[in-house]
Structure 1
Amino acid sequence: MEFWNNSYWSSINQIAFLAVVLMISNVIRRKVGFLRKSLLPTAVLAGFIVLFIKVSNILPEGFFQVSFMEVITFHTLAIGFIALALKSLSNQKKASKMVAVESGLVIVGTYVIQAVVGLIITITLTLTFFPNLITGAGMLLPMGFGQGPGPAANMGSVYETNVINPFIGGKAFGLSIASLGFVWACVGGVLYLNYLVKKKKLEVEDELVVTEVVTSHVVEEADEIPLSEAIDKFTVQICLVLIVYFTTFFFMKGFDYIILTGAFGDFGIESMRPLIWGFNFIWATLFALLFKRIFAKLRDMNIMQRRYPNDYMLNRIAGTVFDFMIIASISAINIADLERLWIPFIILTTVGGVVTFIYIRFICKRVYPDYELEATISMFGMLTGTASTGVALLREVDPHFKTPAANNLVLGASSAIAFGFPLLMLVGLAYRSDQLAFITLGIVIVAFFVINIFLLRKRIFKRAVVTT
């Protein structure tokens, strides 16, 4: 076995490279005053440094592989969500099913308003000045902003290879939207945080002050497994996360097998398959919640005497993988993708970004009145970038996840699959013809009003009572 062969070291070297840049970025952020005060997450800074290095062609040819960065982003997103979902914090225990439902509807409501804005813009542009666009291309806005580079690239590729109504450059267009979504999440989110600091609505925590004391009970409570015995406790946490992810893989593989048998026809292969694999983090979260429920039942039946998941250690796993996910996802951006369809792209992403922020700020103020800021910044980060950017921004205002905002991302993403999956199926219909694009627009407009009537039902009912 030739251990000196580069193939043995390629993946490790790239991960080590990200680690080096992350540590350097941490030093830069701490030592440079305006960066420390800017609330720019260290991982985001590291991501843009790696992106600059990649564009500058400084690294040896073949050392940095964008495809491997996409792999890291794909898997760490799911692993981080599993770790958060396995936690049993008190605010998770107290979270009602209605909180999960409302969080899911906030997420789906944002997808829907992005779809409405996207379709209105692309229908208008296609029928006027840009006939090389397609009317259904607006559905790539919720895929790029709401889902991220992977699903946006998958669906853009489907649009591009459509025989009846092909969208030339569809994959690049989807990736471009996802790329600028990161800019909205990182730059826009940070600017908003700095605005709040300037208005004295947010205090910047001094990083030199220890705000959390780690004592023995945090990592070894009375009813938990010991910190170290035949197997290390941290090893157990990693095993639990990987077992859940392994189960998730077999579920997706089974679903994929059914699709490939032709059970859903061409629609299954062209539209459902990319969504099944693109939503790996949602399936992973659902299975993590299922495993947690099974653990609870086993303890109630006295079959399992000790608690295996540890909240503190699972937090550390989530924090670690999210840091690497942020770096990898930003560094995977292809600047060349922004060179095509500039005017539609700029109009679509600008209007989409502004509308997304206004809607999330409006709805979070009413759905999460006790932690409006944390909910707004985390939801905005997730629904313009990915869950990783949402968590990165959240950690600037809630570094120890003391509010339920992080849990809402997890629980919301889980329940969003039930509400949003039928609507996301429309992504596979809108591009097929102008008529289907108009039908899809009508459906998402109706869905938007239905979702928000439910979310604002208490206020609407209260006003109705007062009026009468």
Structure 2
Amino acid sequence: MTADQIGFSLLMLAILLYAGKWVRMHWGPAQKLFLPASILAGAIGLILGPGVLGAIAAAVGGEDAAMAQGVIPESMLSIWSDLPGLLINVVFATLLLGVPLPNFNRVWSLAGPQLAFGITLGAGQYVIGILIAALVLAPFFGVPIMAGALIEIGFEGGHGTAAGLQGTFAELGFADGADLAVGMATVGVVSGIVFGIILINWGVRSGKSAVLDKSVDSIPHDQRRGLVAHDDRPVSAGNMTVRSESIEPLTLHFSFVAMAILVGLGILEAMSWVESVTWGAGENGVELLSAVPLFPLAMIGGLVVQQLLTRFDKHNLLDRDLMVRIQGFALDLLIAAAIASLSLTVIADHWAAFLMLGLAGIAWNVGMFLWLAPRVIPKYWFERGIGDIGQSMGVTATGLILMKIADPDNKTPAYEAFGYKQMVFEPFFGGGLVTGLALPIIYNFGPWPFFGVMLALVVLGIGSGLLYFGRLKQDY
């Protein structure tokens, strides 16, 4: 693998992303589903690769046909498959950079109900998944028991987390799990948008929505195409905190990201050393942290760097808006690369497991939204709960899209409550420590200890929501 090959692969990935944006602007179904250009770009790459175009050409003209391997060379797919594992560290390092710690009382009042609901959704995905894997998939289909973690990894974690755990899956003897997780993430994003829009229309018709009186069909055409009207375009996507003749602001902010990742790497190395001299020592030692990925700890590194900047940086050099742009850039590349390099053969080989886990995950999330959200969230439950169900099926961006549709003028505290909840939720679920530890724990100790902990969290989430948070009086 040469530098030229890596550079050309990045150029072609960028072309795919533009193609994905073109499809979003001109294809009605993509607009109705609010599909991100990165997913469309990955789908185009997947179609042009050996799994679709190559398979069709081989079936028609034989293995020696001109396009039997597709039009994307294997070397490029290999580079794309390695990108997500690197870019996910950038995505998670930026999550808490530039985010100040808010007032505790307001956080508790707004984030508490959201957290109870979110933990129920996230932990419940493990409970449902492990039951299906242990009772059906492992004994009847020979699928490794670790498949029980696929719903949370794909739905709650998304493409970045799924692809970032590729090394962990391979190290634990379930290499196919990475492709299944990326496929599950695609199902999660699409189903999250589809069911989210269905629920929003239902909320309008049934009077559950506190702010909408029109269906999503009334959304402006520019918004459906993913465009910003010319007169509404902001002057800048971020603030220039330094003069570019000294250092480009984007370069400076990438330095902050690098610091966060290195702090996370230091934490991981320290934890691995502790393990090597304690429970992991000797021939009979249990190694858990060797399979833990870097990205959840990069998020902790971001929190550390942010606190240091808050304490010592008197010039406010870090701009949150610019950090979000870096995060979005890395996430777009990550999603496109992960989907384009997906192995359809793996999904076809495990279609029963894929189908059962996907349907179970959708049923759990939608069911909890309809039953639990109105009982746990004391005010504006529909607008606030729709963000959580979007995130629990299709990552944070999906949740934000649905909240934007359900509350376009920001008349409810949905965004604020969602953001506060994420500060507590993200370090553990959706790619956090729980997600990172789930696979090695299940591999080393079997499914039931982890199942018991997750079941306890589900009970805690439902119980605290029904008995405490759902009874809070909120004036906002």
Q: Same fold (TM over 0.5)?
A: yes
Q: Is it true that 1:350 corresponds to 2:351 in the alignment?
A: no
The residue that corresponds to 2:36 in the other structure is 41
CA contact (8 A) 1:259 1:268 kept: no
Contact 1:88/1:311 (8 A) holds in 2: yes
Q: Provide closer, same or farther for how the CA distance between residues 396 and 155 of structure 1 changes in structure 2, counting only shifts above 3 A.
A: farther
> Structure 1 27/104 Cα, relative in aligned 2: closer, same or farther at 3 Å?
same
User: What corresponds to 1:233 in structure 2?
Assistant: 249
Q: Which runs of 5+ in 1 are unaligned?
A: 1-5, 161-169, 299-303, 464-468
1:188 aligns with 2:191: yes
- Does the CA contact (< 8 Å) of 1:144 and 1:181 recur in 2? yes
* CA positional deviation for 1:307: 0.7
Alignment partners' CA distance in 2, 1:136 and 1:285: 25
Aligned to 2:289: 272
Secondary structure of the residue that 2:428 maps to in structure 1? helix
Provide Cα deviations, 1:443-466, integer angstroms capped at 9, x if missing partner.
432331112222344355579xxx
Q: Who is 2:468 aligned against?
A: 458
SS of residue in 2 equivalent to 1:283: helix
Tell me what 2:239 maps to: 219
Q: Report the Cα offset of residue 8 of structure 1.
A: 1.9
CA distance in 2, matches of 1:274, 1:438: 19
CA-CA distance at 1:381 after TM superposition? 5.0
Aligned-partner residue type, residue 340 of structure 1:
D
Deviations 1:194-250 (A, max 9, x none): 436766443524235247553479625xxxx44434222232222212222222222
Deviations 1:400-448 (A, max 9, x none): 9993377357514444379x85797565455568xx5455544432331
**What percent of counterpart residues are identical?**
16
Secondary structure of 2:365's counterpart equals: helix
Matches within 5 A, 1:150-161: 150=163, 153=166, 156-157=169-170, 160=173
The residue that corresponds to 1:321 in the other structure is 330
CA distance in 1 between counterparts of 2:286 and 2:116 reads: 27
TM-score (norm 1): 0.75
Does the 8 A contact of 1:85 with 1:289 survive in 2? Answer: yes
- Give the corresponding residue for 1:62: 74
Pair 1:332-2:335 in alignment: no
- Distance in 2, matches of 1:75 and 1:408, equals 27
- How far apart, CA to CA, are the structure 2 residues paired with 1:375 and 1:281? 27
SS at match of 1:130: helix
* Counterpart residue type for residue 313 of structure 1: L
CA distance in 1, matches of 2:407, 2:84: 23
* Correspondences of 1:67-86 after superposition (within 5 Å): 68-86=79-97
Residue 35 of structure 2 aligns to a residue whose secondary structure is coil
Do the aligned partners of residues 429 and 351 (structure 1) sit closer, same or farther apart at CA in structure 2, a change above 3 Å counting? same
1:12-63: CA deviation from partner (whole Å, max 9, x where unpaired): 1111111111112212221334433431111111111111112223335334
Letter paired with 1:272: L
Cα distance in 1, alignment partners of residues 229 and 465 from structure 2: 39
Query: Is the counterpart of residue 149 in structure 1 residue 169 in structure 2?
Result: no
CA RMSD, aligned part only? 4.1
For 1:396 and 1:9, how far apart are their aligned partners in 2? 43
Distance 1:394 1:232, change over 3 A: farther
Give the 3 Å change call, closer, same or farther, for CA 46–259 of structure 1 in structure 2: same
Query: Does structure 1 retain, via aligned residues, the 8 Å contact 2:184–2:358?
Result: yes
Q: Residue 86 of structure 2 contacts residue 164 of structure 2 at CA under 8 Å; is this kept in 1?
A: no
**1:98-148 CA deviation, whole Å, 9 max, x = no partner?**
356665555443332122212322333269x61735666534443444444
SS state at 2:257 partner: helix
Partner SS, residue 214 of structure 1? coil
Amino acid at match of 2:175: K
Which of 246, 253, 264 aligns to 1:248? It is 264
Residues 260/140 of structure 1: CA separation in 2 closer, same or farther (3 Å cut) = farther
Looking at structure 2, the residues matched to 77 and 48 of structure 1 have their Cα atoms a distance apart, in angstroms, of: 20
- Give the residue type in structure 1 aligned to 2:73: E
Among 432, 445, 459, the residue aligned to 1:449: 459
Structure 1 residues 416, 113: closer, same or farther in 2, change over 3 A?
Answer: same
1:74-113 equivalences under 5 Å are 74-88=85-99, 93=102, 96-98=106-108, 106-113=117-124
Q: Give TM-score, length-normalised by structure 2.
A: 0.74
Q: Tell me, yes or no, if the aligned pair for 2:189 and 2:393 is still in contact at 8 Å.
A: no
Alignment partner for residue 286 of structure 1, among 300, 307, 315?
A: 300
Measure the CA separation in 2 of the matches of 1:100 and 1:58.
Answer: 48
Take 2:321 and 2:314, find their aligned partners in 1: how far apart are those partners? 20
Q: Which amino acid aligns with 2:269?
A: K
Kept in 1: contact 2:130–2:145 (CA 8 A): yes
Flag the 1:454–1:23 CA change in 2: closer, same or farther, 3 A. same
Cα pair distance change 1:133/1:74, threshold 3 Å:
closer
Q: One-letter code of the match for 1:234?
A: L
Length, aligned pairs only: 429
1:303-329 CA-partner distances (Å, limit 9, x unpaired): x43111113322222222221122122
Unpaired segments ≥5 residues, structure 2: 54-68, 203-213
Quick check: 1:267–1:428 contact (8 Å CA) kept in 2?
no
The residue number in structure 2 matching 1:416 is 428
Partner Cα distance (1:80, 1:422) in 2: 18
Structure-1 residue corresponding to 2:182: 179
SS in 1 for 2:302: helix
Residue in structure 1 matched with residue 275 of structure 2 by the alignment: 259
**What's the CA shift string for 1:243-288, capped at 9, x where partnerless?**
222222222233234334564357976433222x1xx333222222
Q: Distance in 1 between matches of 2:11 and 2:391?
A: 26
